[in-house]
Amino acid sequence: MNRAAHLVLCFLALAACGTGSGAGAPAAAGPAPDPAGRWALAIHGGAGTIPRDLPAERAAAYREGLARALALGAEALARGESSLEVVEKVVRLLEEDPLFNAGRGAVFTHVGTHELDAAIMDGRDLSAGAVAAVRTVRSPIGLARLVMARTPHVLLVGEGAEAFADEMGVERVENSWFDTPERREAWERAKAREGEDRDTVGAVARDVQGHLAAATSTGGMTDKRWGRVGDVPILGAGTYADDRTAALSATGKGEEFIRHGVTRAISARMALAGEGLEAAARALIHDVLAPGDGGVIGVDGGGRIALMFNSEGMYRGAADSGGRFEVGIWDEMAAVPRP
Mind telling me the catalytic residues? Answer: 200
* CA distance linking residue 44 with residue 325, whole number of Å: 14
Rounded distance between C-alpha atoms, residue 297 and residue 223, angstroms = 26
Q: Are 337 and 70 in contact (CB under 8 A)?
A: no
Question: How many Å is the Cα radius of gyration of the chain?
Answer: 18
Please spell the DSSP secondary structure of 162-197, one letter per residue.
HHHHHHHT--B--GGGG--HHHHHHHHHHHTTS---
The span from the CA of 289 to the CA of 179, in Å, is: 32
Distances 40 to 197, 206, 259 between C-alpha atoms, Å: 29, 5, 29
Euclidean distance between CA atoms 301 and 311, whole angstroms: 27
Q: Determine which helix (DSSP H) or strand (DSSP E) holds 311, and give its type and residue range.
A: none
Q: How many CB atoms lie within 10 A of CB 53?
A: 6
Render 261-287 in DSSP notation, one character per residue.
Answer: THHHHHHHHHHHH---HHHHHHIIIII
